[in-house]
Amino acid sequence: MYKCQDKILLFIPMYNCEKQIVRVLEQLKGEISSYISEAIIVNNRSSDNTEEAAINKLKSMKLPFIAKVLRNNENYGLGGSHKVAFEYAIKNNFEYIIVLHGDDQGNILNLLPYLKNKEYKNFDCFLGARFMKGSKLEGYSAFRTFGNRVYDILFSIGTRKAIYDLGSGLNMYRIEALKSRFWEKYKDNLMFNYCMILGSSYYNLKTHFFPIIWREDDQVSNVKMLNQAVTVLKMLFSYVTSKKSFVCAELRDKIILEYSAQTIFQSTTI
């Protein structure tokens, strides 16, 4: 089997998704596995059996790379889990990191063509987009689709760059572009990706969007739409009125000195 020469870390954040995480891990079989150097599945203190489900699934799989289940020392939020993974990637000398959410809305196979033709190597931020030509939405309401498209337009105007998604569950980043840790003070909750879009624009990171298939069936959303919609507009306004102040500001509700996690399980390679 072909083995990718780049050192690529797969990061799967998970929180209360015991049914879905098993299906997500199933995606790692086959050709896609040859492009992954290591995987970390980061449990953000789930209150159900998500962690156990992930470990049992990994034990039953034969993967050509090491897969670890990490447990955050606190509930850091989705953004905080990203920070755990980014630090892990930097400290362990990875070249790229793939982010694949553990709730089984996205599919890593959407990234496979770009791994094969190496298009990802041209960009710092290679982002899956639900709302661009070629994308497909399943079980996603027309109202939410319209709202997301409006926000994409507003962010495109604010950043003066074409934005097709403010934060899907399938993204890829060049680690060299993350080493400045410009993301360290960004929000730890679901709005972390919004901050990343603005920060990436300010620092002129090479960003490219690619179409993905996105579905909703048995997932439970943690998004409080009205509250988040207002907060995101305020965030964009702050960025537009004073870009440097925004990207340098402390945006977290709680300051955490170190985003740390324990390794609960480590698989063996075939």
- Position 221 scores a pLDDT of 56
- Position 140 scores a pLDDT of 85
- Position 216 scores a pLDDT of 82
Look at residues 204, 212, 228 and name the one whose alpha carbon lies nearest to residue 101. Answer: 212
* Average predicted confidence (pLDDT) for the chain: 94
Number of other CB atoms surrounding residue 210 within 10 Å: 24
Q: Is the pLDDT of residue 23 over 60?
A: yes
Q: How confident is the model at residue 48 (pLDDT cuts 50, 70, 90)?
A: very high
- Position 220 scores a pLDDT of 56
Q: How far is CA 125 from CA 108, 138, 158, 209, in A?
A: 16, 25, 18, 8
Q: Is the pLDDT of residue 225 over 90?
A: no
pLDDT, tens digit (0-9, with 9 covering 90-100), for 162-176: 999 999 999 999 999
Are 85 and 8 in contact, with CB atoms under 8 Å apart? no
Q: Is the pLDDT of residue 84 over 70?
A: yes
- Position 163 scores a pLDDT of 98
Q: Is 240 exposed, middle or buried (0-12, 13-18, 19+ CB in 10 A)?
A: middle
Give the integer Cα–Cα distance in Å for 197 and 191. Answer: 10
Q: Is 112 exposed, middle or buried (0-12, 13-18, 19+ CB in 10 A)?
A: middle
- Position 3 scores a pLDDT of 58
Q: Is the pLDDT of residue 233 over 60?
A: yes
What mean pLDDT do residues 72-93 have? Answer: 98
- Position 2 scores a pLDDT of 52
